[in-house]
Structure 1
Amino acid sequence: MKKSKNEKTEVQILEAAKKVFQSKGMDGARMQEIADKAGINKAMLHYYYRSKQLLFEAVFNQAFSLLAPQLNVVLNDDSSIEEKVKNFTSNYITFMIKHPYLPNFIIQELNRNQDFIKKLKENTGFPNLEKFKIKVDEEVNKGLLKPIEADQLFVNIIALNIFPFLGKPLIKAFTDKDEKAYLKFVEDRKTEVANFIINAIKNT
């Protein structure tokens, strides 16, 4: 009973923390608010997670463990590069709409803690690009794609997908969009980004 209760409490904490981090961000989140939302006292929250940073990392790791397998499937299946671009973009944007705090957290941690990426890569589900690279080279050699390095293509895909989340306030200001319009804009990018990349790399 004790083990079951502890596991349930931890799930409650992580779900509460995810909601608070999503609405307040890392800096704006408060441990007391997370404890209140989880239905526990602050002392119990600190028993599970000694600091807000450790709790944030736990929320991130939980989310990343859900995203990484999706990306790995797309990168390593036998589909064409065109299909990979479409599926990767759709999966990534869908996931980030649900977990918008993740991109800023990653950048923050990379700048603050150089060991962060090492710890992240130790996760067995960390995306592997080897089959993606082979597929790109294969389609370039067949003349299906314009000459492009797979690493460059992958970074282009990541950059076009991640920036609307990293630069949300800037994009909303430039485009004069409220929250509802911004979310529609991001949703539309599933098609816009995929088409832009595909049109740029395909031989016609």
Structure 2
Amino acid sequence: AFALLAPQLNAILNDESSVEEKIRNFTANYISFMSKHPYLPAFIIQELNRNPDFVLKMKDKKGFPNIEKFKKQIAVEIQKGILKPIKGEQLFINIMALNIFPFVASPLIKAFVNIDDKAFKQIVEDRKTEVADFIINSIKA
């Protein structure tokens, strides 16, 4: 399943859209995919803990996300005054963390928020815009 997602994410990171559009597209795409495969993030984390070399196998596959162009684009948009100063790596980690966590911690979130599966699915769907808006508002100059 990750082999299907990775090229899509890589294409978004390396297309010609603005950083804002990339964040919106990445978040919507990631959440849609994970909603169909909700156990994938937990599986990947389990595999990374069990076998740290697991990521090396994934990294060598065609289409594995490359953030170099994304990092350069962030630097350009900072220089133009569009974005506040932020390192591209940190922004990418923030995007990943805010998108992955609900899937990895769904039982915990359901318990804290006191919701059932149906309400959780709606919260996850709402995160497509909530996460993107949150990140964009935090980095806009």
Deviation at 1:127, TM superposition (A): 0.6
Code of the residue aligned with 2:50 in structure 1: it is R
Matches of residues 66-145 of structure 1 in structure 2 within 5 Å?
A: 66-145=4-83
Identity of aligned residues (%): 67
Code of the residue aligned with 1:168 in structure 2: it is S
For residues 41-66 of structure 1, give each alpha carbon's deviation from its aligned partner in whole angstroms, at most 9, with x where no partner exists: xxxxxxxxxxxxxxxxxxxxxx1121
Provide the C-alpha distance between the structure 1 equivalents of 2:75 and 2:21, rounded to a whole number of angstroms. 16
Code of the residue aligned with 1:163 in structure 2: it is F
Matches of residues 184-195 of structure 1 in structure 2 within 5 Å?
A: 184-195=122-133
The number of aligned residues is 141
TM-score (norm 1): 0.68
Structure of larger gyration radius:
1
Moved segments of 4+, more than 4 Å: none
For residues 14-50 of structure 1, give each alpha carbon's deviation from its aligned partner in whole angstroms, at most 9, with x where no partner exists: xxxxxxxxxxxxxxxxxxxxxxxxxxxxxxxxxxxxx
Provide the C-alpha distance between the structure 2 equivalents of 1:98 and 1:181, rounded to a whole number of angstroms. 16
Match of 2:109 in 1: 171
In structure 2, list runs of 5 or more residues that go unmatched: none
CA contact (8 A) 2:7 2:62 kept: no
Code of the residue aligned with 1:200 in structure 2: it is S
Matches of residues 32-43 of structure 1 in structure 2 within 5 Å?
A: none
Provide the C-alpha distance between the structure 2 equivalents of 1:88 and 1:172, rounded to a whole number of angstroms. 24
Deviation at 1:69, TM superposition (A): 1.4
Match of 1:157 in 2: 95
CA contact (8 A) 2:82 2:140 kept: yes
Deviation at 1:114, TM superposition (A): 1.4
In structure 1, list runs of 5 or more residues that go unmatched: 1-62
What is the RMSD of the two structures over their aligned residues, measured on CA atoms? Answer: 0.6
TM-score (norm 2): 0.98
Provide the C-alpha distance between the structure 1 equivalents of 2:136 and 2:59, rounded to a whole number of angstroms. 29
